[in-house]
Structure 1
Amino acid sequence: MQRLRPLSALLLVTASGLVAAQPLTEEEDLAQAYGDKNFVSIATGTRQLLSKAPSSATVITAETIANMGARTVSQALEAVPGLHVSRNNLQNIYTPTYGMRGILTGTSPQVLMMVNGIPRTSVYLGNPDEQMVELPVDNIARIEVIRGPGSAIYGADAFAGTINIITKTADDIDGTSIAGGGGSFDSWDTWFQHGGRHGDLDVAAYFKVGSTDGQRRIIRHDAIGRSGPVNVGYDSVDGQLDIGYGNFRWRTSYTLRRDVGTGVGIFGALDPTGKIRSERLSSDLSWSDANFARDFSLTLQAAFMHLANEVTTPLVVIPGGVDPTFPDGMIGDPSKWERQARFSATGVYSGFATHRIRLGLGHDNLEIYKTRENKNFTLLPPPSQLPMYRASGANLFLSPHERRVNYFYLQDEWNFAPDWTLTGGIRRDLYSDFGGTTNPRLALVWEARHDLTVKLMYGSAFRAPSFVELYATGNPLIMGNPNLRPEKIDTLEAAVTWQVNRDLQTSLSLFQHKITDIISQIGDTYRNGGKQKGHGGELEVNWAATDNLRLTGHYAYQKNTDETTDHDAGYAPHHQLYARADWRFGSGWMLSGQVNRVADRKRAWGDTRPALPDYTSTDLTLRSIRPRQGWDFSLSVYNLFNADIREPSRADSGIIYDLPLPGRSFWLQARYNL
């Protein structure tokens, strides 16, 4: 806290002492200049100017995604200050992990990812994406990101940050398109998209199929000393349907990944044969009335999600001939089936002159209702190899479990004086398996001048233990601990946004956080007890240099320390520098280039390997501006200069030279708009 006090004072002095810049235009003019990316809803649940939102937030629009040439959510998220997308360093299966402000762990359970406001978190590992189940970006209207705690509104796992992916409606699409693309690693996909009004219905539909062999970079030394290519190929199917009727909206989506490779193996031993199938079906129905009563709006929502992760070709945990206890190797096929039901009600009362009250309540029922495992080993003393058998009891990797959550939250946006707004909120969550937790937040926003906004913010958040951390049994990696408590974080932030003129905007955010009750592996089980502290900041600049040239960029710094060892927490970069230029030229063409510099990544305590090399990746995308009808094209080159990009592996994984990411690659796409 003490570090931020002088920094906060400096921001306040700066706010009152800067020389007056050009007057800020009305919100409509600002939206015209900067587009819809200058507004955000995730900070309070209500649309508002980004500069006035009581949080450090970023918005990525569909246009930005297209300019970047991003094909997946993780590629698009690299444009967020203070967020670094790494790869799973716990199980080495190459699932994206989202490190926010230096908080980077194996499965990124400290970042809440939502789709249209509904969490897509799996209770199995607490992560948003399992087995490469990443959303494609073609049907995304915008992505809103909060850096910092969000549990006061969104509950569990809105710990280091919150990501909300908003899919396209009929108005966003307004027509019909078909497209196909292909590129490096024998990758291809084709998709169909439609949006329009049919009678009283607003209908948006999207369907996509594709396949990739995945990059094949070489692991020079795995856990048993072998070398070989990573195994990250898969086949994919994605479908989404959005129907609006009056006050009702129904959304459903389907995601399938087949023949998913195991990266560098579940136990760090290369597994070229293991295959996984992951299938997700989600659906939600909402009813919303902005005039339910005088000065009161009401939204009711019910949501369902089913997630199946099956091993279709048994995983080779340890190959034969390595461990004399298991002469034929350790082989298994752990599979699980998960379902979630969520019910919520949200109301907003605006009848007070200076207050806007938001309140909500809900119930979640989260369960792994079926598990199955065939394997040839037992871990019960003494460990031994057996013929393949159907595991049960303590030999089963995880038995079915259920979690029930009830919650209530209250938020007040209080305009207590001209140009001053105090947002306060509190949420209480009651869990059936580990008890209750209460998380408050406060944010003071001062519009110091027509072109200058200053914010001071405090919030707490929690991360719920996953089912693996609580209940894992016959797991060759680690056992669960049913007595775990949730992780906790307290964060203090200060920020200033300066609209230098109509075409130039800059912002600076400073933060400090403290984490307690960190869940980590101690011996052969999970335990609470770790502590971590961190501080840093993010500087952003957006400049419309000319009518046809837009420049954006940010620099982020963080330092996180493991207080148990007084050593750097490891894995996350201390410095990130990102810059992008979007140049519109000729008759309807756009050329975009982006540079991403990742620097100064330390090893965790006890890892004596040299520090990871810094890297700079450069991407270029040339695309035609989408016409109302007819063809448009795009060509992207990723990692243009073929940089050797590696993300950190754990010291105990056996992957000495870390996790290599793709070298130079290409993607060409054509779309026809009917």
Structure 2
Amino acid sequence: MYFSLITRSIFCLLMFYAVNALAISLEADDEEALLSLYGDEEMISLATGNSKPISRAPAIATVITAEDIKEIGATDIDQVLETVPGLHVARSPRGYNPIYTFRGIFSQFNSQVLMLINGIPITNLFAGDRNQVWGGLPVQSIARVEVIRGPGSAIYGADAFAGVINIITKAKEDIAGTEVGGRAGSFNSWDGWALHGDSWGGFDVAVMLEYGDTDGQRRTIDEDAQTFFDSQFNTDASLAPGSVNLQRENFDARVDISREHWRLRAGLQRRQNVGTGAGVAQALDPSGRFASDRWNADLTYHNPEFFSENWDVTAQLSYFNTSQEVEQNVRLFPPGADFNSAPGIDFPEGVIGNPEVFERHARFKVSTFYTGFEQHQIHAGTGMRYGDLYDVKEVKNYEFDFETGLPRPLGGLRDVTGDLSQVFLRERDRKNYYVFLQDVWNFANDWEFTAGVRYDHFSDFGDTVNPRLALVWATRYNLTTKLLYGRAFRAPSFAELFNINNPVAIGNPNLDPETIETVELAFDYRPSNALRLALSLFHYRWDDIIQFVSDPGTSVNVAENAGRQKGFGMELEADWALTSNFHLLGNYAFQHSTDEKTGKNAGHAPQHQIYLRGSWEFLPHWRLTPQFNWVIDRSRTASDSRPAINNYSIFDLTLRRTAIKRHWEVAFSVRNLFDSDAREPSPAGNPGALIPNDLPLSGRSFFGEIRFRF
């Protein structure tokens, strides 16, 4: 089972002992002290579905505001998330897509993390991630980011596993007028944006437009997959040493319209000219280009007094359409690649594979908070989701030899769309129905007990039930203690269930969902209104990990529930306003995760991570913000014989001048000031890693920006 019966029994006994035996009334809190300590505290809705102060929320949470984002000079959501304790942003070779690694939980497609935009998942059916053609997410339209470390399936269902990230976009009140701005910097990068928020004809309206274009950083890959095959087949086709391909062009448009109980939001996220990173097959491809269109719309009705003042009702209908498209031929291996499958050079034009997928997602949910009981707040809801991978296209000039696992010529570039003997995936759909119930019980002064459970039914793999328990104790007026338990699941992706004609990754329709159980103990201490300290301890058990494992006697890898992992660790946070003009923020995270199949370190994720940031207003309207990120002790997996990857530290600096002639604002940022050679781990391989010297991150870079508000 997931935890031993003894472990679960002991936890439940401790929980109920705390509820019954420790329900003592403390002395009356000092109201003035409470107001000074908590009056400006950030609120979070991600933990329970309604707004609560972070210190009292039944979860380990972080909130990052638009002001925080601007202060650090962030240009993309990845730079924002790297500041969260216990979260590290690693990279995948394909497109350098981000891998949001919570507490040592790492996978190449990162499907164990749920990302929401305004509370609505953007998970794709194909790979279970946010999109294989991600292309970044600009930050000018973001009002705040809420992050939960730990499981959230009892509220959010599938994939709220290692952590949940909710990106909340700006509304009229967040913009309050018009802002236009631009940024230029290293790598031939250009960004521009226009935001407007106002009231029109009784409607509150916000319109947000963002455009960006960059060549991307050009760090060098010394050896790649083709380097290995050159050594095996006596060829000279590899483009390594060569630079990564990280160019991209993005256009983001969002609109938010509300009136009384109704709210309509819609948007388009268009990605074009997206480079292949270190290569789709870990072989450099400087000319391949991807594209993606992501359309979204949602209509929400929210009435806090639906039947009476005790009934808070929300209903929401949403639609999401997303694509992965090819703009220019994508080469798995470069021109001149030869695998000795036929006389002469097998692929004089390179191994070309252009897979495209198109998906649509429709969701409906209704939920209510009932507060008519004296000591209980009931949260209940139900909903459904329909996901349809409705179109699969592929043009390619190869097929796989299932005896060797290597590509062989297909007789020229062919459109194999609809040919189930050649195409990589069948078209499929998924239906999900769910119901959840949660009770927040204020059973004594300063004590709050949350119990919740969610039931999900999926049309392709069955049923799952996920509970949560949380005990929150206001130990003193300035100290909060939390004891938390949660169980979560990760739904198999369509690639894991239904992949065909690819011996490296054959799907298995009999997969079970991955599961995780987590126990957390947390303390939030505010000795003064200038200082906040927080400590969280955690232990998790991750079961039924989906991995592509070798089918004995063949070169085929088939998806199986083959892995198990456990981990423990801690996160320490400090937020200190030393003076009215100087603010210091920092965190330290430690985790140790073990692959239970090998008994070795699970690898990839940093065992230690330190983040520090200062904010100094050294003159009126002048602010200097240095930040430092130190990534320490990343082990290799048991199958990877390379030495441990080097530690790295990155120092950034942002200088900002506001209120120039009341309306203007300028900033200058330098990232990786000391030009550190920072690298993220490349995947292990057999017999060795195909990119042996890992994935280099950007060197020193410079950006300048200007804003005008009116």
Same fold (TM over 0.5): yes
CA contact (8 A) 1:133 1:255 kept: no
Q: After superposition, where does 1:498-513 map in structure 2 within 5 Å?
A: 498-513=525-540
Q: After superposition, where does 1:103-502 map in structure 2 within 5 Å?
A: 103-225=105-227, 226-294=240-308, 295-319=310-334, 320-325=336-341, 326-328=346-348, 329-379=350-400, 384-386=408-410, 387-391=412-416, 392-475=419-502, 477-502=504-529
Q: C-alpha separation between the residues in 2 aligned to 1:626 and 1:58? A: 29
- Which residue number corresponds to residue 515 of structure 1? 542
Q: Offset at 1:231?
A: 0.2
Q: After superposition, where does 1:613-628 map in structure 2 within 5 Å?
A: 613-625=646-658
1:60 aligns with 2:93: no
Q: The residue matched to 2:495 in structure 1 has which SS?
A: helix
Q: C-alpha separation between the residues in 1 aligned to 2:31 and 2:70? A: 29
CA contact (8 A) 1:96 1:129 kept: no
Q: Offset at 1:379?
A: 2.4
Q: The residue matched to 1:224 in structure 2 has which SS?
A: helix
CA contact (8 A) 2:37 2:478 kept: no
Q: Offset at 1:629?
A: 4.7
1:74 aligns with 2:88: no
CA contact (8 A) 1:191 1:209 kept: yes
Partner deviation per Cα, 1:14-50 (whole Å, 9 max, x = no partner): x99xxx9x95746664465xx45x2211111111111
1:662 aligns with 2:689: no
Q: C-alpha separation between the residues in 1 aligned to 2:171 and 2:608? A: 37
For residue 290 of structure 2, what is the amino acid of its counterpart? I
Q: Offset at 1:322?
A: 3.2
Compared CA separation, residues 467 and 628, structure 1 to 2 (3 A): farther
Q: The residue matched to 1:395 in structure 2 has which SS?
A: coil
Compared CA separation, residues 635 and 472, structure 1 to 2 (3 A): same
Partner deviation per Cα, 1:528-578 (whole Å, 9 max, x = no partner): 021100000100111111111111111000000000000111100000001
Compared CA separation, residues 153 and 597, structure 1 to 2 (3 A): same
Q: Which of 32, 43, 47 is the matching residue for 1:43?
A: 47
CA contact (8 A) 1:23 1:451 kept: no
Gaps of 5+ in 1: none
Q: The residue matched to 2:305 in structure 1 has which SS?
A: strand
Q: C-alpha separation between the residues in 2 aligned to 1:99 and 1:411? A: 28
Q: Offset at 1:313?
A: 1.1
- Which residue number corresponds to residue 231 of structure 2? none
Q: C-alpha separation between the residues in 1 aligned to 2:338 and 2:244? A: 20
Q: Offset at 1:133?
A: 3.3
User: Percent of aligned pairs with the same residue?
Assistant: 44
Q: Offset at 1:499?
A: 0.9
Partner deviation per Cα, 1:337-371 (whole Å, 9 max, x = no partner): 11100100010100000000000110000111001
Q: C-alpha separation between the residues in 2 aligned to 1:596 and 1:656? A: 24
CA contact (8 A) 2:34 2:477 kept: no
For residue 324 of structure 2, what is the amino acid of its counterpart? N
Q: Offset at 1:625?
A: 3.2
CA contact (8 A) 1:282 1:305 kept: yes
CA contact (8 A) 2:402 2:503 kept: no
Compared CA separation, residues 629 and 253, structure 1 to 2 (3 A): farther
CA contact (8 A) 2:438 2:451 kept: yes
Q: After superposition, where does 1:524-673 map in structure 2 within 5 Å?
A: 524-625=557-658, 629-652=662-685, 653-673=689-709
Q: Which of 95, 98, 101 is the matching residue for 1:96?
A: 98
Q: C-alpha separation between the residues in 1 aligned to 2:226 and 2:614? A: 45
Q: C-alpha separation between the residues in 2 aligned to 1:26 and 1:347? A: 34
Q: The residue matched to 1:428 in structure 2 has which SS?
A: strand
Between stretches 520-529 and 320-329, larger displacement belongs to: 320-329
Q: C-alpha separation between the residues in 2 aligned to 1:347 and 1:128? A: 29
CA contact (8 A) 1:312 1:333 kept: no
CA contact (8 A) 2:289 2:328 kept: yes
Q: C-alpha separation between the residues in 2 aligned to 1:25 and 1:220? A: 62
Q: C-alpha separation between the residues in 2 aligned to 1:157 and 1:628? A: 48
Compared CA separation, residues 522 and 547, structure 1 to 2 (3 A): same
Between stretches 470-479 and 408-417, larger displacement belongs to: 470-479
CA contact (8 A) 2:250 2:271 kept: yes
Q: C-alpha separation between the residues in 1 aligned to 2:383 and 2:33? A: 37
CA contact (8 A) 2:135 2:248 kept: no
For residue 324 of structure 1, what is the amino acid of its counterpart? N
For residue 342 of structure 1, what is the amino acid of its counterpart? R
Q: The residue matched to 1:243 in structure 2 has which SS?
A: strand
Q: Offset at 1:151?
A: 0.2
Q: The residue matched to 2:225 in structure 1 has which SS?
A: coil
For residue 95 of structure 1, what is the amino acid of its counterpart? N
CA contact (8 A) 1:629 1:672 kept: no
Q: Offset at 1:475?
A: 3.0
Between stretches 359-368 and 477-486, larger displacement belongs to: 477-486
Q: C-alpha separation between the residues in 2 aligned to 1:470 and 1:381? A: 19
Q: C-alpha separation between the residues in 1 aligned to 2:421 and 2:518? A: 40
Q: C-alpha separation between the residues in 1 aligned to 2:426 and 2:32? A: 59
Q: Offset at 1:241?
A: 0.4
Compared CA separation, residues 150 and 221, structure 1 to 2 (3 A): same
Q: Offset at 1:381?
A: 5.3
Q: C-alpha separation between the residues in 1 aligned to 2:127 and 2:436? A: 26
Q: C-alpha separation between the residues in 1 aligned to 2:502 and 2:175? A: 46
Q: Offset at 1:327?
A: 3.5
Q: C-alpha separation between the residues in 1 aligned to 2:186 and 2:333? A: 31
For residue 123 of structure 1, what is the amino acid of its counterpart? L
C-alpha RMSD of the superposition? 2.1
TM-score, with length taken from structure 1: 0.95
Q: Offset at 1:293?
A: 1.1
For residue 346 of structure 1, what is the amino acid of its counterpart? S
Q: C-alpha separation between the residues in 2 aligned to 1:640 and 1:374? A: 44
Q: Offset at 1:128?
A: 2.0
For residue 276 of structure 2, what is the amino acid of its counterpart? T
Q: Offset at 1:135?
A: 2.0
Compared CA separation, residues 23 and 647, structure 1 to 2 (3 A): farther
Q: The residue matched to 2:67 in structure 1 has which SS?
A: helix
Compared CA separation, residues 628 and 570, structure 1 to 2 (3 A): farther
CA contact (8 A) 1:94 1:132 kept: no
Gaps of 5+ in 2: 228-239, 551-556
For residue 694 of structure 2, what is the amino acid of its counterpart? D
Q: The residue matched to 1:399 in structure 2 has which SS?
A: coil
Q: C-alpha separation between the residues in 2 aligned to 1:371 and 1:500? A: 58
CA contact (8 A) 1:303 1:343 kept: yes
For residue 314 of structure 1, what is the amino acid of its counterpart? N
For residue 272 of structure 1, what is the amino acid of its counterpart? P
Compared CA separation, residues 445 and 570, structure 1 to 2 (3 A): same
